[in-house]
Chain A
Amino acid sequence: MKRPSSGKGAEKPSKQQVMEVDKVKSLFNKKIWDSQFQDQLKQEIHDAKPYTWGNIRDLVDDELLRNVRKEIETEIHFTKKETDIYKVNQSGDLANLSGLDWDDLSRLPNLCKLREILYSEVYRDVISYVTGAGKLSGAKMDMSINTYTKGCHLLTHDDVIGSRRVSFILYLPDPDKTWKEHYGGGLRLFPSIVANVPHSDHTAKLVPQFNQIAFFQVQPGYSFHDVEEVRVNKHRLSIQGWYHIPQEGEPGYIPGEEEQWVKTNTSTLAQLESNVLQDYEFPKDERDILPYHEVKHFEKILADHSDEKEKENTPVSAVADSNTLTDEELRYLSEYISEDYLTASGIKSLQSKFLEKSFLQIDSFLNEKKSKLLKQLIRHDELEEECPYEANKVEAPWKTAIPPHKWRYLYIDGKSPENFRTEQDILERLNNEELPNYTLLKQSLNKSKNNTEYELISLVEFLKSTIFKKYLALLTLLCPLSERMLIRRFRPGKDFTLATQINKNELLKNIDGFVDAVLEGTLCLTPSAGWESGEVGGYELYMDNQNDEEADKDIEDAAVYKTDDSGDSVLINKPPSWNSLNLVLRDESVLQFIKYVSWSAKSSRWDVSMQWDVKTVDDENDE
């Protein structure tokens, strides 16, 4: 996933006037030149948890920074950008400030001065010393200015891109006011279970103040952090930057070092795609294969060419092998589904819509009775029950989806309870795989305590039934081969999924008629209003990742989905709602994600997420 600043803008500036060392030093708080201060800071950073990081209060001359802030306020234009991983007001890249014409330079003299001192050798040496990160480049400057306003956030990432060696953030909120913790906008650091698998929750947090700098060594697989959502109508202005590996001609330059570093550190995304790391993802993005005796009925239903007489002589199994619904099947389906969608004409109309569009949106999918019951239960949970916000407080049957640089949400998967704290926990689970058994899970629940979960699981049992899958086959004319069901809850101020492509089922790919796509269903059961504008996130977005010019496999930038004027890349954008089912046949080129749910959302986003591998069945009558 693309990071907020790719470092592409980092460049070697042409000659610039260099400030005298004494002048540079005078523009910093003089304490940082004191060796005792440096040693103490070095020790603090060394001892810091969850990885080496530090911060300095009142870093630079107060007047200089106030002037910088004024310049930014009056001279820089911010544009709000939103992707799956962030929402932030970004300014242009400042790396080429010195390349600006004189007009522009005169507009931003203080900012230019600040950049010069931050990349001065004497200051770089301090940072290099206290972090122990090695020599840092002064030639390759890399800065950007962001302001986080209400609702802005940046989800967990490790900053590993190119030759970055140290990340820093200099904060510039209102200089005359204390930035309070409840404003949000904190820098939060995440410990890792193993390399590249951060814990779900942060263990360190910095509440930023004016003229405070935070910094850390970029450590592939470990330096995971995020920016907590800003909760109030205030500007958390910051200058974000990186120190890179020394470039040719600079002190500390080692030929080949940068190339080697970049080569070794594949991006986080590439690592996530590797097989080993997939083992550490929960829940698994995989579907369990259906028993053949079940599948063969769907095959017959879709290829329904048996004559009436043959049907009469065939005993009825869980489902009748005809492409219409029997009275018994209708009775079963109507336990949950609205009658409108069960009539022959209702099914026909959904079927033709699905064939035409590859997706279906079915509103008021559950019948009134079930809808009312579930709404009442979910609302009750939202309003009366404490919702756990830390992974270690999450209780069975709920689990927390990890790792947080891919997704975070609560889910029920129909398997034994688990709450991973260590690598060993995960390895034990991997050594003892099990299939979901919602029925068993339901029996283990205390109904009076987990009434909502009990009813949601009953719903999933229904959705897993053979009769429902027959109905699904009739709607889509596709034969289900495997399935996965999850009950999910995305908590405000906490949960999301990042954009991913489908994970194809390797075991099924050679089956006749196998469709190179996954059939996905999302039954959204979010009981609150206020989602329509998209401001509070939580929406499910499908976007096109096809690039006709170059078959670039890298998920370059989900950012385009909001800035693309044509709107072509967004295929479906569905805000959370009550009782609507979305069915999508998602092929490989389509990315999907659930946008981070804002802290100001009125409730969690609740849904049942379904996936099926599917194949086509030839209708011999048509041939």
Chain B
Amino acid sequence: MAKRTLGLGKQNKNQKKQKVSDKSTPAGSPTPDVSPANQIIVEVDEDKDPEDELVQLKGLWRTYFDSDRDDELVLNGIVHECDRLLRSSNEDASLKLNDEFHALYALALSELTIFKAGEEEEESAEPKNVETVTQFFDTALERCNLGLAAFADSSLLKLVAAKILLQRIPLEYISHLKVADKNADELKLDLKLKEAKSDFCICSNHLELTFEVLQLFDDLLDIVENFGHEDDIDEGLDSDAEEELEMVKLSHKHPLYKIQKHLNDNYAWLREQFQSLFKELKKPEGQDEEVISKTPELKLYHPVARRLGQLYLKAAEHPSQIFLTLAYDNEEGQKKIDNLTEKEAQKEALSLTSKAVEYLEEARVEHDPQTWADVAEAVIDLGNLYDAGSSDQEKCYKKAEKILTKANKATHGKYEDILNNLLDGE
């Protein structure tokens, strides 16, 4: 060891020299770089036997699940380990494989598709990788089904089956679709989605995975909603987030036609599931941040509440628009839009937006002003829905002003513009 350190720059220079001289040695079997980055530290639950192979497998999956998920090697490691355990269990009757084993095996296989699809993008001319993605998904589902054959009541395996399907629909199918496609009968994506929905269940022991599966569903609906607009979003120099894009009209033979047609029902289903998940969660109350981050039912409370709030706001958009048009922008004297009268639209929009406010209130985090502003913005929406000049409306605006003033102070003026708009309107 050096007597004293050299200084950052010199150290770097020396290392570079070393690298160069390393390269000049004859290339035999390359010595693997045993830097700490190449080693994985697997944490296992405190109360579990660290020597237990299934406990280790679970730890390995956890390592991947909690990471940035950019390390294919960890997944390969899991798959190899599963293969090995499977062989051992055939030879050694004392090694009992449980449903979790099958679930992790299937999850690892399905996650590998992300890397395979990435390779596919890089070598776009290679149809081989498309097959690989298909194969991996097939194998993952097969593993799930084998598990379910042994553990028919396993909610975890059902959840994993739903996860695989929800990941598969966009990755394997939608990514190759064009607006003009008419192969609905061949792909049957709506049936696949239906299957995923029926497989889905809230897994109390795997809340994070449950949340993730719902997010996959959420993303999928978003993809369907924006299908055909991908280029509009990326290209136009001034694509303005404030402008809503109309959904692209699809032929009824298009694989996404039916899903698009039932988008509202699907969003309603998603809200229901999120609500069921929310019931499993606990509101963090003064616990240490580290404790919260390690306890799924605490950790997920705010994000699930927030998403629920956003989903209710989204649901309220349509009736709100109808109400605002009929009430304030109705020069032609229309009585109904989409079969809703002004009053009906107002009632529906108010009920949905109030729900949104409730959830966003639950999502409020003391040290995150964005979560306060989310509440304020929803409250402004709510205020807009009450009769003009009514005390309810005033109450909403006052409440929003108070929250935004505080949030604005906490964020060096980030909400100045919204606040000014609100005050100008008064």
Contacts and interface: CB of A to CB of B under 8 A. Distances in A.
Q: Do they bind each other?
A: yes
Interface residues of B, number: 31
Given A182-B417, A352-B1, A358 B6 contact: yes
A73 B3 CA distance: 59
A241 interface: no
Given A73-B237, A383-B367, A478 B4 contact: yes
Contacts of A359: 8
Given A355-B1, A383-B367, A386-B409, A234 B238 contact: yes
Contacts of A73: 236-237
Interface in A191-237: 233-235, 237
Given A383-B410, A389-B412, A355 B4 contact: yes
B412 A584 contact: no
Contacts of B87: none
Interface string A370-391: 0000000001001111110100
Given A174-B238, A383-B369, A602-B368, A571 B1 contact: no
Contacts of B239: 233
B9 A590 contact: yes
A235 B1 contact: no
Interface string B2-18: 11111111111100100
Given A174-B237, A174-B238, A382-B410, A571 B8 contact: yes
A476 B7 contact: no
A354 interface: yes
Interface string A342-385: 00000000001011111100000000000000000001001111
A587 to B, nearest CB: 3
B37 interface: no
Contacts of A384: 409-410
A607 to B, nearest CB: 18
Interface residues of A, number: 58
B240 interface: yes
B241 interface: yes
B416 interface: yes
B16 A586 contact: no
A358 B7 contact: yes
B412 A491 contact: yes
Interface string B218-249: 00000000000000000011111100000000
B407 to A, nearest CB: 9
A281 interface: no
Contacts of A571: 8-9, 12
A602 B5 CA distance: 37
A278 interface: no
Contacts of B236: 73
A491 B1 CA distance: 42
A586 B8 contact: yes
Contact of B5 (A180, A476, A544): A476
Contacts of B4: 355, 477-478, 515, 616
Nearest to A614: B4
Interface in A501-559: 515-517, 527-528, 542, 544-546
Contact of B237 (A235, A357, A599, A619): A235
A478 B5 CA distance: 9
A361 B379 CA distance: 45
Nearest to B366: A383
Given A352-B1, A356-B1, A382-B410, A586 B369 contact: no
B11 A357 contact: yes
B8 A590 contact: yes
B9 A589 contact: yes
A387 B6 contact: no
A588 interface: yes
B13 A177 contact: no
Given A182-B417, A383-B367, A387-B412, A586 B238 contact: no
B13 A546 contact: yes
Nearest to B239: A233
B14 to A, nearest CB: 10
Nearest to B368: A602
Given A237-B237, A386-B409, A587 B369 contact: no
A409 B416 CA distance: 23
Contacts of A386: 409
Nearest to B1: A355
B239 to A, nearest CB: 8
A493 interface: yes
A568 interface: yes
A502 to B, nearest CB: 10
Contacts of A235: 237-238
Contacts of B414: 599-600
Contacts of B11: 357-358
Contacts of A233: 239-241
A572 interface: yes
Contacts of A528: 367
Interface centre among A69, A234, A528 (most CB of B within 10 A): A234
Contacts of A586: 7-9
A588 B9 contact: yes
B410 A587 contact: no
Interface in A272-293: none
Interface string A487-500: 00001110000000
B11 to A, nearest CB: 5
Interface centre among A358, A516, A527, A589 (most CB of B within 10 A): A358
Nearest to B241: A233
A85 interface: no
A542 B412 contact: no
A68 B282 CA distance: 57
Contacts of A588: 9
A173 B238 CA distance: 8
A234 B240 contact: yes
A385 B411 CA distance: 10
Nearest to B420: A182
Nearest to B407: A383
B343 to A, nearest CB: 36
Contacts of B13: 544, 546, 589
Interface string A602-616: 100000000000001
Nearest to A528: B367
Contacts of B367: 379, 383, 527-528
A585 interface: yes
Contacts of A602: 368, 370, 411
B286 to A, nearest CB: 12
A30 B6 CA distance: 67
Interface string A73-98: 10000000000000000000000000
Contacts of A147: 237
Contacts of A387: 412
Contacts of A173: 238
A544 B12 contact: yes
Nearest to B8: A358
Given A234-B238, A383-B410, A389-B412, A542 B8 contact: yes
A53 B190 CA distance: 63
Contacts of A477: 3-5
B232 to A, nearest CB: 13
Interface centre among B16, B238, B370 (most CB of A within 10 A): B238
A572 B11 CA distance: 13
Contacts of B237: 69, 73, 147, 174, 235, 237
Contacts of A619: 3
Contacts of A492: 411-412
B6 A182 contact: no
12 contacts: A182-B416, A234-B240, A358-B8, A358-B10, A383-B410, A384-B409, A491-B412, A568-B12, A568-B16, A585-B7, A587-B10, A599-B412
Which 3 pairs show the lowest CB-CB distances between chains A and B?
A: A587-B7, A589-B9, A383-B410
Given A515-B7, A585-B8, 7 more contacts: A235-B238, A352-B1, A478-B5, A491-B412, A546-B9, A568-B16, A588-B9
Interface of B: 1-13, 16, 236-241, 367-370, 409-412, 414, 416-417
